[in-house]
Structure 1
Amino acid sequence: MIAVVAILVFVAAFLLVLGFVYVRTPSQVQQRAVTLSGAAAAGLVMGKMSYYQRRLRPYAQRIGRATRSSKRFVQPGEWDRRLAWAGYPAGIVNSEELLGLQWLISLAALFVLLPAVFNTGPLLILVGLALGLGLPMIWVDARATERQRKVNQAVPDALDILTICVQAGLGFDAALAQIVERSQGPLSEELGRFLHELKIGVPRAECFNRLLQRTNSNELRILVGALVQAQQLGVPIARTLEEQAGDMRIRRIQRAREEGAKASPKIALITTILIAPAVMCMFLAVMIYSMVGQFSGLFGR
């Protein structure tokens, strides 16, 4: 019972901090600033930052710097990559700040549970620390997985638009700018950052490499590899894009068929667990009703 109460309280504390993080919804101009200059620039450009960025981030950064030796909880390189895959959620820009947020949630929840700690002993403290350190990691992983899924889903449609624009006479960068301007989502944001890095003088190969590191998308990795190879061999980009669009449509159909094949056993399992017992209960109810009627007639005589 104590463990259940501790879990519920720490989940509530985590959601409370998360609510402070998202207390302000970014406007379209802020989202554009994120696209062009990175996650941390939006609040500076607009002068409107979330409660977390204005109030809690300094404490998270200080705690993260003070506890940076706790690498058993957060591996810096690994979690920096995962934060990039998640799109730097809530403006958390590095693993050090994430570690500070973990300890901040743990301390906040411990303060809430302080009266109960004296009655239950150290068990509640251990459970609280485990949840406080684990919940932000689970949250970042979930955001990264969801963002990667959205990127993979958006790549085929973006590739079709890119192919049409290039075949119509636009340059590759101008076609990417059309995608950024006319679409929304993680892929559009990452392509906007790609174009921004090109404008400030970053080599194209390095821009492609950073794009792949930020997205961790297999679909995008295949496309970028084909474009780099075509550029090295002198193959026309329009032809390469057309071939890649056809291959990606085929992979999309195959993936849909695989998802459908995976759904069949799940449907059969649901049918077996839910529908079959319901049908049996219905037949059993009819049998009981019939037997009750027969016994009532027998005793009535």
Structure 2
Amino acid sequence: MLELFNSPLGPIVLTATGAVLLLVMALIAILTSGRTDPMQKFFEQAKLDKTGVVADITQLRRKGGREFKSLEKYARFLEPENAKELSDAQQKMIRAGYLSKTAVRDFAALQFILAVTGMVGSVLLVFVIAPDSFESPILKGITLVAPMVVGYFGPRRWLEQRIEARKAEIISGFPDALDMMLICVEAGQSLDQSIRRVSKEINFAYPALSEELTAVGEQVKAGRERSEVLRDMAKRCDVTDITSFVTVMIQAATYGTSITDALRVFAAEMRDKRIMRAEEKANILPTKMTLGTMMFTVPPLLIILIGPSVVGIMSDLNGGIPMPGN
């Protein structure tokens, strides 16, 4: 046995043994953790639904999400046991556009698979494929650890970028959606009908905003209160403009003011705000171009202006060798 660990395959055997032990310990922890009482699970789900985070959005517009049934047995290992942490994780996945009930579990499984794959690949690369290329202990350690870290934290970074991209798309398309909604309301349609119509019209240009408006229209059509549905949309989008719109609509319905007037004023404000964002980007652009201008304009200019003088000085220092062309 000692000869096996001292052989070139020793690190691989040691790593495989450690992985097997960790897997056995995880399975033992899952099997001995006990089953949750069905009534306790019911009360936890009811409490989770009251928070509005896991709303009926997942039931009304789940886009045929493919659920991995084989991961159900590892749900306690892949999903947070704390209700608040699970609620926050589900809300984060919903903001990224993943509406399946098992999105948190699938994402955690993806992180685990990528991390293990990176670890196995790095071990094979360092000890089997190219062992002579990693003689330095520092390089060997970085090569072994980096793929595992990237495999685990890479999906998190990608999820955050997807959330930000979805928010930017909603912010960009919201003024146009408000203008179309105002036209529909002034034409005689109700607010609910205008929301459903606008969601169909902007589906091609702004699919994320179309999904949110479609969810609002379907939930109101199913019998939920409009104020609750709008609040849920504001929580899912996490955009200041959407939150302000929801507040205006709820106040207009509460105090009995004209929804048309409220929409007209708010739509004009959103148009002005979009113009201000465009002007802000235009004002920042010269500052960003300064570095590029200095890098790609100043060096060639210096070469053109100072180059002949440098060549002349060097020719004088070398004994007065005449310059080409003289």
Please say whether Structure 1 and Structure 2 have the same fold, judged by a TM-score greater than 0.5: yes
Q: Aligned-pair distance for 1:172?
A: 0.8
Match of residue 102 from structure 1: 111
With over 3 angstroms needed to count, the CA separation of the structure-2 counterparts of 1:42 and 1:286, relative to structure 1, is farther
Alignment equivalent of 1:257, drawn from 256, 279, 293:
279
Match of residue 65 from structure 1: 76
With over 3 angstroms needed to count, the CA separation of the structure-2 counterparts of 1:35 and 1:79, relative to structure 1, is closer
For the 8 Å contact 2:177–2:198, the answer to whether it is kept is yes
Q: State how 1:114-263 maps to structure 2 within 5 Å.
A: 114-116=123-125, 118=127, 124-184=143-203, 185-263=207-285
| Matched position secondary structure for 2:64 | helix
| Matched position secondary structure for 1:113 | helix
For the 8 Å contact 1:65–1:96, the answer to whether it is kept is no
For the 8 Å contact 1:110–1:125, the answer to whether it is kept is yes
Deviations 1:14-33 (A, max 9, x none): xxxxxxxxxxxxxxxxxxxx
Q: Aligned-pair distance for 1:300?
A: 9.8
Instruction: For 1:299 and 1:193, locate their aligned partners in 2 and report how far apart those are by CA, in whole Å.
Output: 77
Q: Aligned-pair distance for 1:289?
A: 5.9
Instruction: For 1:38 and 1:240, locate their aligned partners in 2 and report how far apart those are by CA, in whole Å.
Output: 29
More displaced stretch, 212-221 vs 151-160: 212-221
For the 8 Å contact 2:95–2:237, the answer to whether it is kept is yes
Q: Aligned-pair distance for 1:279?
A: 1.6
Q: Aligned-pair distance for 1:272?
A: 2.0
One-letter amino acid of the counterpart of residue 179, structure 2: D
Instruction: For 1:35 and 1:180, locate their aligned partners in 2 and report how far apart those are by CA, in whole Å.
Output: 18
| Matched position secondary structure for 1:140 | helix
Query: Which is higher, the Rg of structure 1 or of structure 2?
Result: 2
Identical-pair percentage: 22
Deviations 1:49-100 (A, max 9, x none): xxxx47xx445555553244699xxx533332221111118x6843233212
More displaced stretch, 220-229 vs 95-104: 95-104
Instruction: For 2:325 and 2:154, locate their aligned partners in 1 and report how far apart those are by CA, in whole Å.
Output: 66
Stretches of structure 2 lacking an aligned partner (at least 5 in a row): 1-56, 132-136
Instruction: For 1:85 and 1:259, locate their aligned partners in 2 and report how far apart those are by CA, in whole Å.
Output: 25
More displaced stretch, 191-200 vs 284-293: 284-293
Indicate yes or no: 2:60 matched with 1:37: yes
Instruction: For 1:137 and 1:100, locate their aligned partners in 2 and report how far apart those are by CA, in whole Å.
Output: 12
Query: Which structure ranks higher in relative contact order (CA pairs < 8 Å, sequence separation ≥ 6)?
Result: 1
With over 3 angstroms needed to count, the CA separation of the structure-2 counterparts of 1:152 and 1:299, relative to structure 1, is closer
Instruction: For 1:114 and 1:209, locate their aligned partners in 2 and report how far apart those are by CA, in whole Å.
Output: 50
For the 8 Å contact 1:36–1:196, the answer to whether it is kept is no
Instruction: For 1:92 and 1:136, locate their aligned partners in 2 and report how far apart those are by CA, in whole Å.
Output: 19
One-letter amino acid of the counterpart of residue 107, structure 1: V
Query: How many aligned residue pairs are there?
Result: 253
For the 8 Å contact 1:36–1:193, the answer to whether it is kept is no
| Matched position secondary structure for 1:42 | coil
Instruction: For 1:200 and 1:213, locate their aligned partners in 2 and report how far apart those are by CA, in whole Å.
Output: 20
Instruction: For 1:129 and 1:298, locate their aligned partners in 2 and report how far apart those are by CA, in whole Å.
Output: 60
